A = this chain, B = another copy of it.
Amino acid sequence: MTNRRATIADVARVAGVSPSTASVVFSGKTPVSDTTRIRVIDAAESLGYTGPDPRAASLRLGRSGIVAVVVSSSLNFMFVDPVQRLLMDGLADAVAPLGAGLLLLRRDAELDIENAPTLTTASIDAAVLIGYDALLLEPLQIIRARGIPVVVVEGDAGEGIPRIALDNRVAQRRAAEHLRDLGHTRVAIVTLWQDAAGTVGWLAPDAAVSLDVTRERLLGARDVFPDAPAFATGGSSIDDGFAAGRAIFADPLTRPTAVIAQSDLLAAGVIRAAEEAGLRVPADVSVTGFDGVPVDGLAPYELTTLVQPATEKGRAAGAAIAAMLDGREPASVDFTSTFRRGNTTARAGDG
């Protein structure tokens, strides 16, 4: 019985009008007399026609209303980070007015040969690359080859590709200066991923950090504390920060009086580790974060941190996409973080 879905032609026939008229009734692009509109709508209803087939419309119009978001890791891993979540919400906000939705595309490392590579076969109007790094190079090339507009958030994909960036170095420097002004001299740094592999451990002083965000924030901290040791984590989570904190507080002799963490989640973990080591925060050790996001479960503490406009970054990415789809020139945007003093930093030696 479910022979075939009704088409606009069927509706037009039943309504006794031409297909183009019926089409216009649905698109609203052109004025239609009330009587014909009603006839068409009635006909549609009687046929169970629920509106133009998006596939056909998409072919005809040349756009599908879909924006791809390409991520380099598992969704579980990616969305642990509140910054990413806020970013996605901002993006969703910004593309909604375009009538667009977000298509989540994982760049699967272990991609089976036979699997249809969705990035090459999906009807997408534009793409957003998040946390651009070497892993996203191939997706980027595919997208560019298809001539699809693309925006990069965090990280630099080269000339001609609009990017949404943050003043990572300057902002992180501000946190370091804050600690210096409080009299701290023995400071340790806890960084985000140092490379795509996610190698964990103390960074060699001259280590080349390939990930933009990590490198910039590290440079900012080193602008003030050139010799501060840095421990690289495998991601941005409380657990990762906890592990780093344990390593940092392991030796009472070399114990720092302050820790600069490259994210709020890492900072939360460092605080946990400090408590475990019997250190009070901020009396014995000061901790700074980065991001300014709500950290679930950090309750008593309020981090001294750099607040970045995560949602705004997503909106800006969406705006850039809207511009490109509109044929306008997309603007790269540099966002600024603001310093926020919490209760996790104090004068050195107050303990």
Contact = CB atoms under 8 A, between A and B. Distances in A.
Contact of A297 (B2, B54, B242): B242
A279 interface: no
A145 B59 CA distance: 22
A102 interface: yes
Interface in A106-137: 106, 108, 112, 115-118, 120-124
A303 to B, nearest CB: 14
B80 A123 contact: no
A230 interface: no
Contacts of A102: 103-104
Given A75-B85, A76-B86, A64 B299 contact: no
B62 A89 contact: no
B66 A55 contact: no
A261 interface: no
Interface in A179-234: none
Nearest to A106: B92
Copy number in the complex reads: 2
Interface stretch (A12-20, A32-40, A93-101, A330-338): A93-101
Contacts of A122: 54, 64-66, 101
A157 B86 CA distance: 30
A158 interface: no
Given A65-B122, A272-B297, A297-B297, A101 B96 contact: no
A108 B121 contact: no
A223 to B, nearest CB: 30
Interface in A289-341: 294, 296-297, 299-300
Contact of A265 (B74, B99, B296): B296
A269 interface: yes
- Consensus secondary structure, chain A interface: mixed
B115 A96 contact: yes
Report which residue of A118, A120, A268 has the largest number of chain B beta carbons within 10 angstroms of its beta carbon: A118
A279 to B, nearest CB: 16
A118 B99 contact: yes
A282 interface: no
A82 interface: yes
A123 B64 contact: yes
A34 to B, nearest CB: 20
A82 to B, nearest CB: 7
A277 interface: no
A114 to B, nearest CB: 8
A239 interface: yes
A88 interface: yes
A56 interface: yes
Closest 10 CB pairs of A and B: A99-B116, A238-B297, A79-B79, A54-B123, A76-B85, A238-B296, A55-B59, A101-B118, A102-B104, A75-B88
